Amino acid sequence: MSMPIAQALHAIVGEIGLLSGEDVSARSCDPFRNVPPRGGLIVRPASTAELSAVMALCSARGQAVVAHGGRTGVSGGAYAGESEIVVSLERMRAVLEISPEGPLAVVEAGASVEALQQAAAAQGLFYPVDLGSKGSATIGGTIATNAGGNRVLRWGMTRQNLLGVEAVLADGTVVSSMNRLLKNNMGYALKDILCGSEGTLGIITRAVLRLVPQPSSQDVAFVSVTDHAALVALLARARRLPTLSAFEVMWPDYYDLVAASDTGRRPVPPGTGPCVLVESMGYHPESDRRQFEEFLFDAGENGLIADAVLAESGKQVAELWRVREAAEVIVRAMSPFVSFDISLGVADIEPFLPRVRDALLQRFGILRTATFGHLGDNNIHIAAYVGPDTAALESEVEAVVFGVLRGYDGAITAEHGIGQHKRVFLPAHKHTGEMEMMRRLRDALDPDRLLNRDVLF
């Protein structure tokens, strides 16, 4: 007879590598709600070899696992059921190398995004994937979910910054694809399929990430525009700035709340049209500034801008960004609400927004929304309140929004991922051939569905 799994895991990872009891129940799989792992065990390998042995054991026993990074995901990708053991990468958190040549970084999966950013900054380098949760979010988690953030427009999502990756498959096979080269056409893009697979194809253990030189210029303007046409025209002009790093739109339902709050965030008078935070980051402070000012001037001359503020100091830059990152104002003013992370064509946003609001209002009789997003990436976020029972009505609210979105070929998640929460909605938004191909790939790598079994599909 084989020994109990806890004992067998202990033999691989030792005392420090295995948590149980209160050490498990004190954790949450959700950043906002208290949702402890229900399986009672957390295994914490110290190396790829240990994780490989853990997965070989789990595979032999048919033991399902859920991978944990920083547990900052909002789609339920880290939820662990009674029959699942948690595999946490928290003991593999080294920033192994920052190389000015490349430039690139080699990092263990459990390192936080912030730890990488800081290690890079110490050498004048910059890791451009930036998230509000960067202090906790891990490199492995951001790779597994292809995390986005505020500067996707310039530097792409995590996948675009990923050069190489190492992962452990469900049966313990180690796939080391630690490429450091910008161009390498030797076979399938394994890193790209592991990235964004939400832990269902393999568990990321290490990665090679592309860095860029630390920008030396940051120009930020906060402007209001009259209508959607002006917004689209402004975006088209902004795209000609090679240093454009953010184009963050706040619709009136969002900005009115923030501007009316007692937090002093009201750079321009609220109007009928959306506001935009436009940012440029580059390496030539003088000429970057000149180009940025020319862009604003031309946009003004062409009647695209109603009001504008141009930051004159680092302090003002931070203040303008605080208007865009006013989550706590929304939470205070609107809770409970359902959060959306959708994307759709820029031209479709104008008809979509009133249509989705009408649909919600018709269905629930009461509605408050706050709408903002990374317009340059097609990504908009909507917080929707449909009354005091909003939390209980979450999936009904989602069904209404996603129903309208289908008519526009939009994506039900632009950056947060499907996780467990949106799984039920996925097939309606994918081609049947896509679902079939995804199923075949997953079956090929994890035939027993041991990895994040309830995630994605």
Residues 84-113 that bind a second copy (CB under 8 A): 100-102
Structure tokens at 117: 């950013």
CA distance linking residue 181 with residue 25, whole number of Å: 43
The verdict on 296 binding a second copy (CB under 8 A) reads no
Residues 299-358 that bind a second copy (CB under 8 A): 343-347
Asked if residue 219 lies in contact with residue 227, where contact means CB atoms within 8 angstroms, the answer is no
Q: What is the DSSP string of 173-215?
A: -EEEE----S---SS--HHHHHTTSTTSS-EEEEEEEE-EEPP
Candidates 34, 184, 302, 362; binder of a second copy (CB under 8 A) is: 184
Judged by beta carbon, residue 155 or residue 364, the one nearer a second copy is 155
Site string for a second copy, 392-421 (x = CB under 8 A): -----------------xxxxxxxxxx---
Helix (H) or strand (E) holding 280: strand 275-282
Candidates 61, 266, 332, 440; binder of a second copy (CB under 8 A) is: 440
Residue 296 backbone phi and psi in degrees, to 5: -65, -45
Structure tokens at 187: 């076979």
Stretch that binds a second copy, among 54-62, 183-191, 320-328, 332-340 (CB under 8 A): 183-191
Residue 427 backbone phi and psi in degrees, to 5: -55, -35
Strand partners, 385: 368
The verdict on 438 binding a second copy (CB under 8 A) reads yes
Smallest distance from a second copy to CB 170, Å: 11
CA distance linking residue 397 with residue 266, whole number of Å: 30
Candidates 279, 377, 398, 454; binder of a second copy (CB under 8 A) is: 377
Stretch that binds a second copy, among 31-39, 56-64, 278-286, 360-368 (CB under 8 A): 278-286
- Picking from 128, 129, 146, the residue whose alpha carbon sits closest to that of residue 198 is 146
The verdict on 424 binding a second copy (CB under 8 A) reads no
Residues 30-89 that bind a second copy (CB under 8 A): none
CA distance linking residue 277 with residue 273, whole number of Å: 14
The verdict on 274 binding a second copy (CB under 8 A) reads no
The verdict on 436 binding a second copy (CB under 8 A) reads yes
Are β-strands 162-168 and 174-177 bridged in parallel, bridged antiparallel, or unpaired? antiparallel
Residues 191-250 that bind a second copy (CB under 8 A): 192-193, 195-197, 201, 213, 232, 236, 239-243
Judged by beta carbon, residue 224 or residue 343, the one nearer a second copy is 343
Stretch that binds a second copy, among 1-9, 114-122, 329-337, 370-378 (CB under 8 A): 370-378
Judged by beta carbon, residue 240 or residue 266, the one nearer a second copy is 240
Size of the site for a second copy (CB under 8 A): 85
CA distance linking residue 245 with residue 238, whole number of Å: 10
Judged by beta carbon, residue 91 or residue 289, the one nearer a second copy is 289
Whole-number Cα distances in Å, 68 to 138, 153, 234, 379, 420: 9, 28, 41, 26, 14
